Amino acid sequence: MKVILATRNRKKVEEFQRVLKETSLSLLDLREYPQATDVVEDGVTFAENATKKALQTARLTGLPALADDSGLEVDALGKKPGVHSARFAGPGATDRQNLEKLLADLGDCPAPARTARFVCVLAMADPAGHVRLFEGRVEGRIGRMPQGENGFGYDPVFVPEGEERTFAQMSPAEKDAMSHRGRAIANLAAALLDHNGPVLA
């Protein structure tokens, strides 16, 4: 089954491909649809934004679409940046700028109070408007400085629970096994492998 992944982010596409390789999905992405416009992510929850992106992409392409909205919730910052994770430092902010703002806002916050979690909601939609949601989350803490060269976004400062390394210090396979997006995609994969009928029916 051909499915459009509602992103142009190459690293995100690779992550989906790794976790979904055992399913029947053939993944395309928006790099093959230059006419597709960016969705305004104005929802107040991850689920609202993921659903909006998936529905718009499915209706544009005429194919089932997958979209995720994910972000970092930092307890000491009132669960910010949350749905604004990708633009925490302002519109068009780079990963580095977002990360620097996060660390600056946390300042000298003590280690026990630097708890955080990554949350991912994955929406699968078809052109008829059927939607199914899958969620993944991982608890952890925010380090005091970036460490590691892998991953993207806030990976260099996020240390998952039970680990001493950041996501950016892990191999892609190690991160996939415990990441919020990896868990959401794994839930989708399980539904695809276990379901006897159309997943969106």
Active-site positions read 69
What's the maximum distance between 2 C-alpha atoms anywhere in the chain?
A: 53
**Residue 20, Ramachandran bin (φ over 0: left; ψ between -120 and 50: alpha; else beta):** alpha
Tokens of 74: 């930092």
Angle at 118 between CA 117 and CA 120, to 5 degrees: 140
CA proximity to 31, closest of 50, 49, 5, 65: 5
Cis bond upstream, residue 81 (ω within 30): yes
What amino acid is encoded at 102 in this protein?
L
